[in-house]
Amino acid sequence: MSADSKVSVKKRQKLGTAETRRLRLSGLVPGIVYGHKQEPQPVVVDETLIHPIVVSGHKVVDLDVEGVLEKAIIRDVQVDPFTRLIQHIDFMRVDPNERVTVDVAIELKGTAPGILSGGMLEHQLHSIKVDCLAYQIPDSIVVKVSDLQLGGVIHVNELEIPPGVHVQTQGELIVVHVVKVSTRELDLAAPGAAEPEVIGKKAGEAEADAAPAKKK
């Protein structure tokens, strides 16, 4: 778990669709700060500032709301599917010593030897839900696949979890495994594996053969 990042935000005075569009065109991200029995506060943050923090997977931030410091976690992020720019972000106020439930990303490390034996690595579960103190939230759960042979599998209950962090996701779920790929699947996936071409006849002759015979 890395040190908490400081994020400076400003209160939003204007709301509405037109104002939200204007903010995004200006390189800013609209957001909301809520929690701890306080009124929700609409805010705005620089996209270039918050983007690397979100990408890093870090959840807990030191939020500076116009000079007022608050501890918060990044609760929800909306990303444009084409530009990959952040469109909206939710911050939830927390006490570092209170328990919270969050989703933590799963990060694969290494190369599975089973791939060299004709297998294909399938990453099925990309995050898990955990419960822990706010200051204990891990940036990610690292899964080493360097020992994963053909047919090998890693389940949720086999993950290495930091002390104090409790997993709420079902333990029998598959995180990653190496499956055997059949020759037929490889052929179908290969370029040019479309419908076979008729050889030996001209196009007109092939069409004539396919047409029904006329009744006399």
- 117 and 67 in one domain? no
Q: Under a CB-based contact definition with an 8 Å cutoff, are residues 9 and 67 in contact?
A: no
Residue 108 lies in a domain: yes
- In this predicted structure, what is the pLDDT of residue 66? 94
Q: Could you say which DSSP state residue 117 is in? A: G
Instruction: Measure the CA–CA gap between 156 and 39, rounded to whole angstroms.
Output: 37
Residue 205 lies in a domain: no
Q: Where are the alpha helices (DSSP H) in 83-161?
A: none
- In this predicted structure, what is the pLDDT of residue 193? 47
- In this predicted structure, what is the pLDDT of residue 192? 55
Q: Which of 55, 46, 97 is nearest to 74 (CA)?
A: 55
Q: Under a CB-based contact definition with an 8 Å cutoff, are residues 29 and 88 in contact?
A: yes
- 135 and 63 in one domain? no
Give me the domain span that covers residue 49: 1-94
Q: Which of 178, 159, 177 is nearest to 167 (CA)?
A: 159
Instruction: Measure the CA–CA gap between 1 and 133, rounded to whole angstroms.
Output: 12
Mean pLDDT by 10 residues, the chain (216 residues): 80 92 96 92 96 89 94 93 95 90 94 92 96 91 95 97 96 96 57 49 46 49
- In this predicted structure, what is the pLDDT of residue 198? 46
Which of 94, 118, 144 terminates a domain? The answer is: 94
Measured in whole angstroms, the distance separating CA 119 from the mean position of its chain's CA atoms is 24
- In this predicted structure, what is the pLDDT of residue 152? 96
Both tokens of residue 21? 């569009």
Which of 42, 72, 94 terminates a domain? The answer is: 94
Which of 94, 116, 136 terminates a domain? The answer is: 94
Half-sphere exposure of 59 (CA within 13 A, CB side): 25
What φ, ψ does residue 93 adopt, rounded to 5°? Answer: -65, 140
> For the chain, what is the domain count?
2
- 84 and 1 in one domain? yes
139-143-144 Cα angle (round to 5): 135
- In this predicted structure, what is the pLDDT of residue 200? 46
- In this predicted structure, what is the pLDDT of residue 2? 57
- 180 and 105 in one domain? yes
- 50 and 116 in one domain? no
Tell me, what CATH number does 72's domain have?
2.40.240.10
